[in-house]
Structure 1
Amino acid sequence: MPLIQISQTPGLSDEQKAEVISAVTRAYAESSGKNPSSVWVTITEVPRENWGVGGTPLG
């Protein structure tokens, strides 16, 4: 069972999340030869204040 985890800042609608999950599942299944029904995808929304890039907080 492949598990793909996506971490991002909040902001996508439920419809956008569903499309991301669908697109990522399709891409992984096509490139790996796995059955799409075996691919798990999670989206974790992390508030901007909990992110940092290059040593600088984003929040």
Structure 2
Amino acid sequence: MPVIRVEMFKGRTVDQKRQLVKELTDAFIRTCGGTPESVQIVITDVAKEDWGGAGILMSDKYPDKK
């Protein structure tokens, strides 16, 4: 059972996540074979203030637009 894990900033809609799950499943099956029922996808929404890189928080690098 393949598991695809996606970590991304919070803010995507349910429709966007639904489409992402469909596209990732289709791509995996097309590339590696198997059945859609065998592919599991876990989406983890992460707040920008909980993600850092190059010594800075992503909330500082990419502030929300007001």
Alignment coverage as a number of residue pairs: 59
Partner of 2:15: 15
Whichever residue aligns with residue 47 of structure 1, its letter is A
Whichever residue aligns with residue 31 of structure 1, its letter is T
1:1-59 superposed matches below 5 A? 1-59=1-59
Give the number of the structure whose alpha-carbon radius of gyration is greater.
2
Query: How far 1:56 sits from its partner (Å)?
Result: 1.3
Query: How far 1:24 sits from its partner (Å)?
Result: 0.4
Gapped regions of structure 2 (runs ≥ 5): 60-66
Q: Secondary structure at the match of 1:28?
A: helix
| Structure 1 stretches of at least 4 aligned residues deviating more than 3 Å after TM superposition | none
Q: Percent identity?
A: 32
TM-score (norm 2): 0.83
TM-score (norm 1): 0.92
Q: Tell me how far apart the structure 1 counterparts of residues 34 and 48 of structure 2 sit (CA, whole Å).
A: 34
Query: How far 1:2 sits from its partner (Å)?
Result: 0.3
Q: CA RMSD in A?
A: 0.8
Gapped regions of structure 1 (runs ≥ 5): none
